[in-house]
Amino acid sequence: MLDLKKIRADFPILKRQVNGKPLVYFDNAATSQTPQQVIDVIVDYYSNYNANIHRGVHTLSQEATDKYEAARHTIQKHFNAAHAHEIIYTSGTTHSINLVASGFSSLLQKGDEIIVSALEHHSNIVPWQMLCEKTGAILKVIPMNQDGELVMTEYDKLLNENTKLVFVNHISNALGTINPIEEIIEKAHQVGAAVLIDGAQACPHVKPDVQALDVDFYVASAHKMCGPTGVGMLYGKETWLNKLPPYQGGGEMIAEVSFTKTTYAGLPHKFEAGTPNICGGIAFGAAIDYMNAIGFDAIAKYEHELLEYATKALLEIEGLKIYGTAKNKTSVVSFNLEGIHPYDVGTILDKLGIAVRTGHHCAQPIMEYFKIPGTVRASFAFYNTKEEIDTLVSGVKKAKMMLS
Ligand code: C6P
């Protein structure tokens, strides 16, 4: 059981009013809110030991370096990576995916095949299309069904000896579908393909074990799991990270530089050119500690309750259709009111203090599949309540009345 009162007290933003109403924050899939424990870490960094890392002999620099590297270990432990140097700090999921895509441009050949899924966010589509343009590789797509589930029999048909890479999200941002990534990884490995799992939407809800999954790359953003924006991570198996060339050149990623030749630093620094988001990395570690203290089993169980409660109550509204009805799904409800544009519903909800996301959610192919311009997406976190869902349901009813 979660102590909701105590948890909500950790999030100062939940006390604010929006348009004269108490904030109901249901845009957690876009970005989660930040607990005081993480805010304190950010303030402490800038108040007490702001310095560049890995460079200075002075005390502040050493303190900052120690905390930044300690956070890397926290991330390593959380994802159960075998080594801390398999965790690369990035600015977020998008950066992590682009780093891998760019690296593979020197490893792929014309006619190689890459598989993505119909449920991907644009950031797990566009970099691979760019990679295909550069290399002559071919992009193939695992289709989805009306419930928003991947059609796994079609995946089986797509796999062959030309398949070099498979990229699938762990959880769909637009529909909440939890994809069968264990099966996807195992089958890809049977044909010798590497797998990248986009965990941006999974990490706020589950604790992935990269070694148990035997995944080659796993990526996530801190800001979706109670951390700050502008920082994230790439997990890569050591063997793969050693094969990939550096993504950017610059300071910190080198062993030695001269005008005739540069040699690169080892992992993880080879992929971490320039001054990183030091405070962000430290706060990412604090966010992981915060979420683990609450407990991912308890989070998943409670969020499932919220999902079931919201689904039932929303479906009682005549003319409301939910997109994404997979058996295995997380706390995201994407819906539309018949004949009403999602943007209009979102605007009225905002007037009532309720924050939801409207539009295509950076997943246009999903919208195209359902032949809709977008949806209203309410995404719940462990600090949300059933009372807030009641407020959403009455807000949607009000919007329907005003817009019909
Ligand atoms: N989805 C959403 O509202 P960044 O922006 O790099 O932190 O994450 C990109 C990203 C990648 N994959 C998935 C599955 C995602 O959901 C996101 C971000 C947000 O759904 C903002 S578009």
Report pLDDT digits (tens) over 184-216.
999 999 999 999 999 999 999 999 999 999 999
- Give me the residues of the chain with pLDDT under 70, please: none
Atom 2, ligand 1: which residue's CA is nearest? 30
Atom 19, ligand 1: which residue's CA is nearest? 30
Establish whether residue 175 lines the binding site of ligand 1, counting it when its CB lies within 6 angstroms of any ligand atom. Answer: no
Establish whether residue 357 lines the binding site of ligand 1, counting it when its CB lies within 6 angstroms of any ligand atom. Answer: yes
Establish whether residue 169 lines the binding site of ligand 1, counting it when its CB lies within 6 angstroms of any ligand atom. Answer: yes
Domain positions in the chain are 4-26+295-403, 49-293
Establish whether residue 173 lines the binding site of ligand 1, counting it when its CB lies within 6 angstroms of any ligand atom. Answer: yes
Establish whether residue 198 lines the binding site of ligand 1, counting it when its CB lies within 6 angstroms of any ligand atom. Answer: yes
Among 350, 365, 379, 402, CA closest to 21:
350
Is residue 88 within 8 A of residue 233, CB to CB? The reply is: yes
Note the helical H segments in 159-277. Answer: 181-190, 210-213, 238-243
Token pair listed for 99: 């780093």
Backbone φ, ψ for residue 160 (5° rounding): -160, -175
Kindly give the distance from the C-alpha atom of residue 335 to the centroid of ligand 1, in angstroms, as a whole number. 19
Question: Can 4-26+295-403 and 49-293 be said to share one CATH topology?
Answer: no
What residues does 105 pair with on adjacent strands? none
Kindly give the distance from the C-alpha atom of residue 150 to the centroid of ligand 1, in angstroms, as a whole number. 19
Which of 122, 173, 205, 356 has most ligand 1 atoms within 8 Å of CB, for mutation?
A: 173
> Could you confirm whether domain 49-293 is CATH 3.40.228.10?
no
Known catalytic residue: 132?
Answer: no
Kindly give the distance from the C-alpha atom of residue 75 to the centroid of ligand 1, in angstroms, as a whole number. 19
Kindly give the distance from the C-alpha atom of residue 363 to the centroid of ligand 1, in angstroms, as a whole number. 10
Q: What integer pLDDT is reported at residue 335 of this predicted model?
A: 98
Q: Which amino acid is at 285?
A: G
Among 78, 329, 334, 336, CA closest to 227:
78
Q: What integer pLDDT is reported at residue 55 of this predicted model?
A: 80
Q: What integer pLDDT is reported at residue 34 of this predicted model?
A: 98
Query: How far is Cα 236 from Cα 354, in angstroms, rounded to an integer?
Result: 38
Is residue 194 within 8 A of residue 216, CB to CB? The reply is: yes
Among 119, 84, 314, CA closest to 210:
84
Which of 362, 376, 377, 379 has most ligand 1 atoms within 8 Å of CB, for mutation?
A: 362
Is residue 136 within 8 A of residue 109, CB to CB? The reply is: yes
> How far are the Cα atoms of 7, 72, 270 from residue 55, in angstroms, in the given order?
38, 18, 16
Query: How far is Cα 190 from Cα 302, in angstroms, rounded to an integer?
Result: 36
Ligand 1 atom nearest 30 alpha carbon: 3
What residues contact 261, with CB distance under 8 A and at least 6 apart?
none
Torsion of CA 283, 174, 14, 299, to 10 degrees: -70
Establish whether residue 121 lines the binding site of ligand 1, counting it when its CB lies within 6 angstroms of any ligand atom. Answer: yes
Establish whether residue 221 lines the binding site of ligand 1, counting it when its CB lies within 6 angstroms of any ligand atom. Answer: yes
Query: How far is Cα 344 from Cα 134, in angstroms, rounded to an integer?
Result: 41
CATH placement of domain 4-26+295-403 = 3.90.1150.10
Establish whether residue 200 lines the binding site of ligand 1, counting it when its CB lies within 6 angstroms of any ligand atom. Answer: yes
**For tokens 């007037």, what's the residue?**
351
- What's this model's pTM, rounded to 2 decimal places? 0.98
Q: What integer pLDDT is reported at residue 53 of this predicted model?
A: 96
